[in-house]
């Protein structure tokens, strides 16, 4: 590769990270390319996977995304709970 050529950011992500990013895009209604444009998205994915970490290092965008992920997870749990309680 020549020095002037740039590889897309996606090429630096692992398949697992790409999958997680696509899921995050769907759950947060934020376009995949917008997530890729965030400079700390890989850091966010790593922090979301580490639930024991206090996440003190999250920036505002990361905190907003993290909260959206938790909100969506809670909605899914509530939906399952409602289905089981009505049966």
Residue pLDDT, tens place only, 7-50 = 566 776 778 878 888 888 888 888 888 887 776 666 666 666 66
CA atoms within 13 A on the CB side of 62: 15
Which domain covers residue 70, as residue numbers?
A: 10-86
Residue 68: inside a domain: yes
The total of structural domains in the chain comes to: 1
Which two three-digit tokens encode residue 70?
A: 């938790």
> What local confidence, expressed as pLDDT, does residue 62 receive?
73
pLDDT band at 57 (very low <50, low <70, confident <90, very high): low
Q: Is the pLDDT of residue 54 over 80?
A: no
Q: Which residues contact 58 (CB under 8 A, 6 or more apart)?
A: 44, 47, 66
Number of Cβ within 10 Å of residue 39's Cβ equals 10
Residue 3: inside a domain: no
Residue 5: inside a domain: no
Task: Report yes or no: 32 and 22 within 8 Å, Cβ to Cβ.
Answer: yes
Residue 16: inside a domain: yes
Residue 25: inside a domain: yes
The pTM (predicted TM-score) of the whole model is 0.44
Residue 41: inside a domain: yes
Residue 4: inside a domain: no
Residue 1: inside a domain: no
Q: Is the pLDDT of residue 2 over 50?
A: no
Number of Cβ within 10 Å of residue 75's Cβ equals 11
């Amino acid at each position: 590769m020549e020095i002037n050529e740039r590889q897309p950011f996606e090429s630096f992500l692992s398949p697992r990270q790409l999958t997680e990013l696509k899921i995050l895009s769907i759950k947060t209604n934020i376009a995949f390319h917008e997530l890729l444009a965030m400079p700390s998205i890989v850091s966010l994915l790593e922090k979301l996977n580490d639930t024991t970490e206090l996440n003190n290092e999250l920036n505002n965008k990361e905190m907003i995304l993290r909260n959206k992920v938790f909100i969506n997870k809670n909605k899914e749990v509530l939906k399952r709970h409602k289905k089981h309680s009505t049966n």
